[in-house]
């Protein structure tokens, strides 16, 4: 079992989206994790060691990350650490990589507008309209929450004061 890592990092480049021959979306995301600390003598912030890692994101998450994230953004990321190995000019090389399972902007430094991904399925892949062209059904056509949804708003009394657990 590979170790799972959760951390706060910064995007080194914009995510790069491509597609496999079978049509699966894959994005490459380069990340930098560093330790920053306040020097008590100078009262200045100093950068510590940096851990550089290449991340890979697949399918709908790859498309969402490419549309939503950009170089320089601080992100919260979770994934499985792996070692990539290759040989070049007769010499073996290794480097850490991260199979990203979730990634999101750090809302301490940014705001985000969340739009639920489309539900249409075509050839096993979810299809979405281009960015800024999300289609939302009119309010009267939206599906109501299930009757037993503990988080639903009581239309007569509004929100509950207590959580449903």
Write down all domains in the chain, each with its CATH number in brackets: 1-96 (2.40.50.140)
Q: According to the model, what pLDDT value does residue 149 have?
A: 54
Neighbours of 100 (CB within 10 A): 24
Residues whose CB is less than 8 angstroms from the CB of residue 124 and which lie 6 or more positions away in sequence, other chains included: none
Confidence grade of residue 144 (pLDDT, cut at 50, 70, 90): low
Q: Are strands 91-105 and 45-58 parallel, antiparallel or unpaired?
A: parallel
| Overall residue count recorded for the chain in this entry | 165
pTM higher than 0.75 for the full model? no
What are residue 137's phi and psi, to 5 degrees? -70, 150
Per-residue pLDDT reduced to its tens digit, 66-122 = 999 999 999 999 999 998 888 889 999 898 899 999 999 988 888 888 877 665 433
């Amino acid at each position: 079992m590979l170790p799972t890592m959760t951390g706060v990092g910064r995007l080194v480049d914009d995510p790069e989206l491509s597609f496999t021959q079978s049509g699966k979306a894959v994005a490459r995301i380069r990340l930098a994790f560093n330790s920053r600390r306040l020097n008590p003598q100078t009262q200045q912030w100093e950068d510590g060691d940096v851990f550089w890692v290449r991340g890979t994101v697949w399918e709908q998450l790859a498309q969402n990350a490419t549309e939503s994230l950009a170089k320089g953004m601080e992100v919260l990321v979770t994934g499985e650490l792996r070692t990539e190995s290759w040989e070049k000019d007769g010499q073996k090389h290794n480097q850490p990589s991260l199979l990203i399972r979730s990634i999101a902007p750090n809302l301490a430094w940014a705001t985000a507008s969340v739009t639920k991904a489309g539900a249409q399925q075509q050839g096993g892949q979810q299809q979405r309209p281009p960015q800024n062209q999300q289609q939302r059904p009119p309010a009267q056509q939206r599906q109501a929450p299930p009757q037993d949804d503990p988080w639903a708003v009581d239309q007569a009394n509004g929100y509950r004061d207590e959580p449903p657990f």
